[in-house]
Amino acid sequence: SSCGLFCVSTNVGGVPEVLPPDMAYLADPSVESLSRGVIHTIKNGLYKIDPINFHDRVAKMYSWDRVARETVEVYNDVLSQPRLTLLERLDRYMTAGPFVGAFGCLVILTLHFWSLVVNWWQPIALIDIVPDLYPAKQKKRPKYPTEVTKSKVVKT
């Protein structure tokens, strides 16, 4: 659609959320359904659209600023959800099936107990925090930590 063409696609994934109904024909994920969609589009002249208008509409709907803003909203939404306990996570892994779920639980339990051993051996409180090399107040960050000038290296 961003190329100014009517779209025939399968009704899976994010396609229904990406394009409005007048810009795409959504078919079931099968060869027969896609074929019917192409035939329907041709017979009804749905392909006879103004490509510049289609392109302009898609360009207005999607910009890097909008995509970044929506991505941040999704991350903030995920971060605002309550953190699941270990048992709640194990319960969710078991929904993957008896074999895969049990294997996933085994892996998670192994990693969980390994992290407990590592935290006992090297407590988080004893780990030194490296100070930020470039404070937030500094407006422009140098491209490289050192600057080469006339065969001598000057630390910045």
Kindly state whether residues 40 and 66 are assigned to the same domain. yes
Amino acid at the residue 124? I
In-domain check, residue 131: no
Kindly state whether residues 76 and 97 are assigned to the same domain. no
Kindly state whether residues 74 and 56 are assigned to the same domain. yes
H helices within 44-129, ranges in order?
Answer: 51-61, 64-80, 86-93, 98-121
In-domain check, residue 146: no
Tokens of 30: 């099968």
Q: For position 128, what pLDDT does the model report?
A: 85
In-domain check, residue 155: no
Locus of tokens 């099936």: 97
Q: For position 89, what pLDDT does the model report?
A: 92
Question: Residues for the chain: how many in total?
Answer: 156
Domain count for the chain:
2
Q: For position 142, what pLDDT does the model report?
A: 55
Q: For position 143, what pLDDT does the model report?
A: 58
Each of the 156 residues of the chain gets a pLDDT tens digit; together they read: 667 788 888 888 777 777 888 888 899 999 999 999 999 989 988 878 888 888 888 888 777 888 888 889 999 999 999 999 999 999 999 999 999 999 999 999 999 999 999 999 999 888 888 877 766 665 565 555 554 444 444 555
In-domain check, residue 73: yes
Q: For position 145, what pLDDT does the model report?
A: 52
Strand partners, 149: 152
Instruction: Give residue 97's domain range.
Output: 83-123
Tokens of 86: 């270990």
Q: What is the pLDDT of residues 14-50, one digit of tens each?
A: 777 778 888 888 999 999 999 999 999 899 888 788 8
In-domain check, residue 156: no
- Which one, of 135, 5, 130, lies nearest residue 58 by Cα? 5
Kindly state whether residues 5 and 59 are assigned to the same domain. yes
In-domain check, residue 143: no
Locus of tokens 């289609």: 54
Strand partners, 147: 154
In-domain check, residue 109: yes
- Which one, of 21, 63, 28, 56, lies nearest residue 7 by Cα? 21
Tokens of 88: 């709640």
